[in-house]
Amino acid sequence: MNSTSIRAVMLNIRAKKDSRQVIKSLEIKKGNTIADIGSGGGYFTFEFSKIIGTAGKVFAIDTNQKFLSHINKILKRDKIQNIKIVISNENRCPLPNTSYDLIFMRNVFHHITSPVNYFKNIKNCIKPGCKIAIIEWLPTNIKWRYVGFPGHCTQENEIQKIMLDAGFMHLKSFDFLKKESFNIFQKQSL
């Protein structure tokens, strides 16, 4: 196993914790179209794929080509047809032109260099009713942990303000994740 595969497996182990509650909270249905922005090792991408079935589509979107290659190997090995790989960057997410039911982001918000512009761009690519789920590390005082590195987390109220500035209304928050905030937003009506 190469270093990218090991990192992907480690990311997936961490993603699996509390994933049942996260997925249940998202209210995903068969046939949904989902963008998994910051797909990492692919844990949620593959879980979403199982739920939406052959009538749906999941877009695994990441800035790391090696992680996307890891996901692609699994797609080919398991002959999965409802996942598409998309390379991105921190400044602009190239959402394929389609109708999304859900945009999912887990612990990637802090990587976005211009979040208001980033989400305004997304707002122009999604249909009314599309939800954006943002899970993000909460600030911590433990400096030696990965999450404690400066800039590797975002205050929940800051996320909510940025999303409001980008044209999204806050629908709900969940508090079952101990070290992360979990908020759902929707495009504001005109």
Distance separating alpha carbons of residues 84 and 103, to the nearest angstrom: 14
Q: Per residue in 113-127, pLDDT tens?
A: 899 999 998 887 788
Contact between residue 19 and residue 47 where contact means Cβ atoms under 8 Å apart = yes
Judged by phi (left if over 0) then psi (alpha if -120 to 50, else beta), residue 81 lies in: alpha
pTM of the model: 0.88
Place of tokens 């211009």: 114
pLDDT tens string 21-65? 999 999 999 999 999 999 999 999 999 999 999 999 999 999 999
| Two structure tokens written together for 43 | 């844990």
Residue-range domains of the chain with CATH? 3-187 (3.40.50.150)
